[in-house]
Amino acid sequence: MMKAAVTTAFKRPLEIKQVKIPKPKPTDVLVKTIACGVCHSDLHLAHGDWDFKPELPRIIGHEGIGEIVEIGSMVGNHLKKGDIIGVPWIQETCLHCEYCLTGRETLCKQQINSGFSVDGCFAEYVLMNGNFAVKLPDGMDPYKSAPLFCAGVTVYKALKVSQVRPGEWVSIVGVGGLGSTAIKYAVAMGMRVVAVVAPNDKV
């Protein structure tokens, strides 16, 4: 058994429960959670704010980092026990539709999502499809890295597909969690940044 924060009803506090540790399918790895960010999307999911809602009860959380403790029989040798990996929003996609084949897998109609289609990272253990798992580089802080698996990949992809080149200007509108990360990425990518904030924004 493991401890998990479970959404049992929309617009109600999460409940700390003892639930069964999930069993990995052949393409899964079982991950012992180290850290998990709290994305604003988690709040929307827990409140049932969107037209599409997770089936309840559901363990949410999709900015996870953890250590692989068990490996499914069909997972390749690119992963091993002890590896530290991320558990992002996208658990897996079909890999065959027009969106997956053109680098737009976020639009795949068959995608499976952490904390929505399947249980997520607000738990001591979580499953992750081994074909979509990303290892953290050695020495990377898991606590600082967890938000990169949603906020980080979101803004990185936006900057990448913008086709802005080093030395060119990019405008980043709004400097909250994603915007501040986008500014750091843009600077690291050699872009010149115009940050747009609300009038009288002191932050």
The full set of domain ranges for the chain reads 2-146, 150-202
pLDDT of 199 over the 90 cut: no
Q: How far is CA 127 from the centre of its chain?
A: 13
Q: What is the mean pLDDT of residues 184-191?
A: 96
| % the chain with pLDDT above 90 | 92
Average pLDDT in the chain: 94
**Amino acid 202: pLDDT:** 72
**Amino acid 1: pLDDT:** 96
Residue 75 pLDDT level (bands cut at 50, 70, 90): very high
**Whether CATH 3.40.50.720 fits 150-202:** yes
39-77 per-residue burial string, b: 16 or more CB within 10 A, e: under 16: bebbeebbebeeeeebeeebbbbbbbbbbbebbbeebee
CATH number of 2-146: 3.90.180.10
- Specify the 3-state DSSP secondary structure of 108: coil
Is pTM beyond 0.85? Reply is yes
Residue 198 pLDDT level (bands cut at 50, 70, 90): confident
**Amino acid 201: pLDDT:** 75
Q: How far is CA 118 from the centre of its chain?
A: 13
**Amino acid 170: pLDDT:** 96
pLDDT of 47 over the 80 cut: yes
